[in-house]
Amino acid sequence: MAREPSDEAVIAYKTILAGLLDNRPSGTRQRLAAALGKHRSFVTQVTSPTYDTPLPARHLPTIFRVCHFSPAEQERFLAAYEAAHPGRLPESGGGEKLRTLSIMAPDLGDEKKNRMFDDAVAEFVRSMASLLNGGD
């Protein structure tokens, strides 16, 4: 059975993502699952080219943060993602590029509390970016 062009585009961005994940430290997929609040099997389904499950756009900022994408890696991945899902990329402050900001944060000794802390910091950053870009 022939694949649809959109299937090939999904395989293209998933191939890029899988390659990047393969070059990250051991445990990255598990950390990604925890940051997304999902099971590791979900991460496998949305990042592996062998599964046709598309990667939801809302998870992209978390993937970039947890996997420490370089600007070039992020740009390459986003171009492939946009080709597969035109118009589905979330607005990120008027089309500005995202950048990675690493901070030292306390380890709260509990994975759930750490994730909640990380999510709160990420939400603060999104709110500040929106404010700076003329949002309310």
- Give the pLDDT confidence of 33-82 residue by residue, as tens digits: 988 888 999 999 999 999 988 999 889 988 988 888 888 898 999 999 99
Residue 94 pLDDT exceeds 50: no
Per-chain mean pLDDT for the chain: 83
**Mean predicted confidence (pLDDT) in 95-119:** 77
State yes or no: pLDDT of 92 exceeds 90.
no
Number of structural domains in the chain: 1
Range of the domain at 27: 5-132
Q: Which residue has the higher pLDDT, 90 or 27?
A: 27
From the list 29, 15, 125, the residue with the least C-alpha distance to 77 is: 15
Instruction: Inform me whether the pLDDT recorded for 132 exceeds 90.
Output: no
- pLDDT, greater one: 101 or 9: 9
pTM of the model: 0.63
Gap between the terminal Cα atoms of the chain: 50
Compute the half-sphere exposure of residue 19: CA atoms within 13 Å on the CB side of its CA.
Answer: 10
pLDDT, position 121: 85
106/103 Cα distance (integer angstroms): 10
